[in-house]
């Protein structure tokens, strides 16, 4: 149970729904601390670089169009087992399969419009944090 950091993205659908405060409340309630945060708008080429891991998946082009369509909030979360904890409170990528009261269960619409992103392991966490914050 070591203290670690993870990247969190609040996606355009969450901003449009004005649920940022609700997401922050869930994050803080679960013992994670937001240590850095900024609002940005990704260019398509930046989105392609960031989501390159999904390049061969059926939803890739829609994801790039969506994530670069409007502003997002990128943030660094910190806490005990932050990566695992944040993935638990986000819920399954598919909101219909997500556990009740997770962010995606409560606010997500589909696999594409699922409100938030979080790093899936320590290596990707480091890469993603550097990508957005140049630490």
86 CB-contact burial (10 Å; exposed 0-12 / middle 13-18 / buried 19+): buried
Distance CA 66, CA 63 (A): 5
- Is the CB of residue 94 less than 8 Å from the CB of residue 111? yes
- Confidence (pLDDT) at 135: 55
54 is catalytic: no
- Confidence (pLDDT) at 98: 97
- Confidence (pLDDT) at 124: 96
Q: How far apart are the first and last CA of the chain?
A: 24
67-78: per-residue pLDDT in tens?
Answer: 999 999 999 999
**Residue with the two structure tokens 């320590």:** 122
Q: Of these residues, 117, 118, 119, 125, which one is catalytic?
A: 117
24-83: per-residue pLDDT in tens?
Answer: 999 999 999 999 999 999 999 999 999 998 899 888 999 999 999 999 999 999 999 999
- Is the CB of residue 47 less than 8 Å from the CB of residue 67? yes
DSSP string, 23-38: HHHHHHHTT-EEEEEE
Domain edges within the chain = 3-133
Task: Tell me the pTM.
Answer: 0.94
Please state the residue numbers annotated as binding site: 11, 59, 87, 93, 104, 114
Backbone angles phi, psi at 48, to 5 degrees: -65, -40
Q: Determine the CATH number of domain 3-133.
A: 3.30.70.141
94-128: per-residue pLDDT in tens?
Answer: 999 999 999 999 999 998 999 999 999 999 999 99
- Confidence (pLDDT) at 83: 98
Binning pLDDT at 50, 70 and 90, where does residue 1 land?
A: low
Neighbours of 55 (CB within 10 A): 10
For 60, residues 6+ apart whose C-beta sits below 8 A from its C-beta are 51, 54
Please state the residue numbers annotated as binding site for ATP: 11, 59, 87, 93, 104, 114
């Amino acid at each position: 149970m070591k203290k670690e950091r993870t990247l969190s993205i609040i996606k355009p659908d969450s901003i449009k729904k004005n649920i940022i405060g609700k997401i922050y409340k869930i994050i803080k309630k679960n013992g994670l601390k937001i240590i850095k945060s900024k609002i940005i708008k990704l260019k398509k080429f930046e989105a392609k670089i960031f989501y390159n891991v999904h390049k061969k998946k059926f939803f890739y082009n829609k994801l790039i169009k969506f994530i670069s369509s409007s502003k997002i909030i990128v943030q660094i979360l910190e806490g005990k087992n932050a990566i695992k904890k944040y993935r638990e409170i986000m819920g399954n990528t598919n909101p219909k399969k997500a556990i009740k009261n997770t962010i995606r269960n409560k606010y997500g619409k589909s696999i594409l419009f699922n409100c938030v992103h979080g790093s899936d392991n320590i290596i990707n966490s480091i890469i993603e944090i550097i990508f957005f914050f140049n630490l």
